[in-house]
Structure 1
């Protein structure tokens, strides 16, 4: 089976089989233009792709994959240092970009991509262990690391999601996510080309664009769903959809409830990382509860351990680091054996660095990052996410982020950063103390104009304080 099964075997000839930022292309045209790219890059090991949201980017990525060449997406907003690092570290042999795009490929030759170029030649499917993508992590602890994602891992992830979400060729996928992360690129682009559904990438993910796209399957990050939930007309326009999916960051329970009330949909939440792809998800035919990310995908196993590596019970309350193993995991970090050595256990489990609970029925709840979201205060283990949810229940609070800061007596104290409307610090501290155990209340609350976020809407807690 080829990686892009549906596109390779039976491309959709509908004029808008793939639409990006208002421009459309039939599947046959996409396949032939991508094959023309494959003819040009065949024989290279890796190519970089300027990952702007455009049809040319789609053609470039598909063309390289058809040729068996590893794709290195380059974020269009990356600064010179990050871009130079990605191009140098990845070992890319060329840079692909739209013919009319001005792009800095450094010392690499730039291969122009045009929809006017077409070919009907054939390229053999490579070994399924060959890397399809090298995606670079956000680099919160240094320069970004290249994550090697094999064709086999991507196929396993997409097939597992097809099972969980009942994803079929009858779907029309709508989203406006970046084409250089797992969410927008693997799920949002390669998914439709594997399963045969149509794709409408709306460009900037504005509520009115989601509302007008007439999708059956819609992807968004929590910021997208929050903005749609704040636009009742747009939210109600999604009642005809089959499934709404949120990922890349936790979906606030208040947004979940608002979307349910307005659109009639309980949003599906799922969990994954660049290194693992998607490993856990709520199912289309299963229970969807705010704050839970569902069950492991087919073939994926999970377990919890404490800081000493001892097992944590799956009783719905015990918190531990989530370990995973299964067919969706990455092949390793590029040029970083030191990083590989620290992220795997001796018996082959990947350390996610995320703190979670697992209920007796197998449902997972992600508490947060072990490094920032598990707060040890006065002998207690406190999940930052639980405190954030309590703060968000206050009617004056729009956004909240909770961290642990050093404290001479407690070890760490709970500190909150809140975007809100005319609310006092003391009021919020008392409010949380009334909802949770008193020791979980914030000791300090900072009222701020906005929280620092990355391109996918994740709060960058390292920048708080």
Structure 2
């Protein structure tokens, strides 16, 4: 069985099996156009794809996979320096893009013709072959290319299909960027493996989600927050089977409002570029606010303390989350130094995230160890716990918590808060102290109009550190 089983037949061939920003494609049309791309890229060391929310992105990606050429998604809004680094580091010699778009100097453009057709056939590459080189956000330096095996993609999508009861009877709807794991690997290849219909809305607006008529929806917290604020659009999703949130923690007030308006609680999942999705709530399991559920089939997780010892699964003690299993990447391209830092001696991947695991196995992600594990006055404080407490205040729309350098405490808990009304920072600090341990209260609260975020809705906390 190949990676893209829907293209092998047996799932029907509706004229709009895929609809990408209003452009319909049948499986047959996708296969014909993608095979034409494969004919042009076969043998190339790598294929860069200008990964906008377009049908051309999907066709080019599938074409590279058919030919067994590693696909390198290029964010359409990347700056010249980032773009040049990705193209140079990946070794891509071709850049797939829409007809009429221009390529930067130094790389050959490959215009993608949606009407092109080819009847060539390609042998299915082995599971150890590279499917993608996905570049990380580069928050600690130049982006690193994570090498993702075809077998890792297949294992992850099959495990998610089992966890979410995802079948060819579903219609998947999302409007997420197509240069990340969430939007491209899950949101496109997931449909091409399960055979479900796919509707990509172009932009993830509440109105577009409401009109799509899906049974399965993907979104990030920013998307779900906007839907929760648009009652008619939210109520239109009441006929959906599953609402999935990921890429960042879903605030409990948004979780509760979505549940109230749609009649079902959303599910959350956890993953990284390097690991794909490893932990998720099940479709038929408990949907607990603030929890990402249980490891997927075949995935193992553990928490490790700073001294390397184990962390008890008591739901309270935080530790670094490490994972092992078939969904993990092969390593960083051209970065043996980063590989050495990322893997333990016994073969576990260090995620760099801190989490708790309860006695029932449910995982709660606290945040990044580098910015979300705050060491204040001898205490270890998870920023995510304080953020969740702040969001419980009726005047708070959102919050981000960091540990700012402090001569007395080592780090002081500082909260950046978007709030309505006349609430003060002192009131919010007292609100947290009433719900959590007093030492976890923010020592300073900064009221802001917005929080800096990346394309997937994650707060850029290093920018907040600079403001503190």
Name the TM-score class by shorter chain: over 0.9
Paired position in structure 2 for 1:432: 432
Q: Is 2:386 the counterpart of 1:387?
A: yes
- Which residue does the alignment assign to 1:182? 181
Partner of 1:167: 166
> How big is the shift at 1:11?
5.7
Determine if contact 1:175/1:200 at 8 Å carries over to the other structure. Answer: yes
CA contact (8 A) 2:169 2:196 kept: yes
Contact 1:74–1:180, Cα closer than 8 Å, also in 2? yes
User: Which structure 2 segments of 5+ residues have no match?
Assistant: none
On the 8 A contact 1:317/1:359 being kept in 2, the answer is yes
Q: Specify the alignment match of 1:66 in structure 2.
A: 66
- 8 Å contact kept, 2:11–2:168: no
Paired residue secondary structure (1:16): coil
Q: Which whole-Å deviations, capped at 9, do the CAs of 1:168-219 have from their partners, x for residues lacking one? A: 0000000000000000000000000011000000011000100010000000
C-alpha distance in 1, partners of 2:301/2:7? 33
Q: Distance in 1 between matches of 2:264 and 2:151?
A: 32
Q: Distance in 1 between matches of 2:276 and 2:199?
A: 22
In structure 2, the residue matched to 1:410 is 409
Tell me how far 1:10 sits from its aligned partner: 3.5
3-state SS of 2:191 partner: helix
**Structure 1: gaps (5+ residues):** none
Compute the displacement of 1:437 (Å). 1.1
Q: Within 2, Cα distance between the matches of 1:9 and 1:144?
A: 38
Q: Which moved more, 1:132-141 or 1:422-431?
A: 422-431
Deviations 1:115-171 (A, max 9, x none): 111011100111111110001000001110000000000000000000000000000
Contact kept in structure 2, 1:11 and 1:27, CA below 8 Å:
no
Q: Are the aligned partners of 1:50 and 1:103 in contact in 2 as well (CA < 8 Å)?
A: no
CA distance in 2, matches of 1:158, 1:8: 17
After superposition, the CA RMSD in angstroms is 0.9
* Per-residue Cα deviation, 1:210-234 (whole angstroms, up to 9, x for no partner): 0010000000000000000001111
Query: SS of 1:372's equivalent?
Result: helix
1:214 corresponding residue in structure 2: 213
Q: Normalization by structure 2: what TM-score?
A: 0.98
Give distance in 2, aligned partners of 1:60 and 1:25: 14
Aligned equivalent of 2:233: 234
For the pair 1:153 / 2:152, whether they are aligned, the reply is yes
CA contact under 8 A between 1:147 and 1:332: conserved in structure 2?
yes
Structure 2 residue 14 is the aligned partner of structure 1 residue 8: no
Within 5 Å, give how 1:185-334 maps onto structure 2: 185-334=184-333
TM-score by length of structure 1 reads 0.99
Q: Is residue 110 of structure 2 the alignment partner of residue 111 of structure 1?
A: yes
Q: Distance in 1 between matches of 2:8 and 2:131?
A: 16
Maintained 8 Å contact 1:8/1:31: no
| 1:86 corresponds to 2:52 | no
Contact 2:51 2:57 in 1 (8 A): yes
Q: Once the 2 structures are TM-superposed, how far is the Cα of residue 336 of structure 1 from its aligned partner?
A: 0.3
Give the distance between the partners of 1:33 and 1:14, measured in 2 at CA: 16
In the TM superposition, residue 360 of structure 1 has moved relative to its aligned partner by 1.2
Residue 447 of structure 1 is matched in structure 2 by 447
Listed one character per residue, the Cα deviations across residues 274-329 of structure 1 (whole Å, up to 9, x for unaligned) are 00000000000111100000110111000001111110011211110001000000
The answer on whether the counterparts of 2:6 and 2:27 sit within 8 Å (CA) in structure 1 is no
SS of 2:371's equivalent in the other structure is coil
Secondary structure, in 3 states, of the residue corresponding to 2:138? coil
* Cα offsets for 1:387-432 (capped at 9, x unmatched): 1111111111111000011112211111000111232111111111
Counterpart contact for 1:317–1:357, Cα < 8 Å: yes
Contact between 1:173 and 1:215, CA under 8 Å: does it hold in 2? yes
> Matches of 2:251 and 2:154 in 1, distance apart?
30
Distance 1:112 1:344 in 2: 39
Q: CA deviation at 1:361?
A: 1.3
Contact 1:353 1:370 in 2 (8 A): yes
Matches within 5 A, 1:47-62: 47-62=47-62
| 1:135 maps onto 2:131 in alignment | no
Is the Cα contact below 8 Å between 1:174 and 1:215 reproduced in 2?
A: yes
Q: Residue in 2 aligned with 1:33?
A: 33
Task: Say whether the 8 Å CA contact 1:12–1:28 is kept in structure 2.
Answer: no
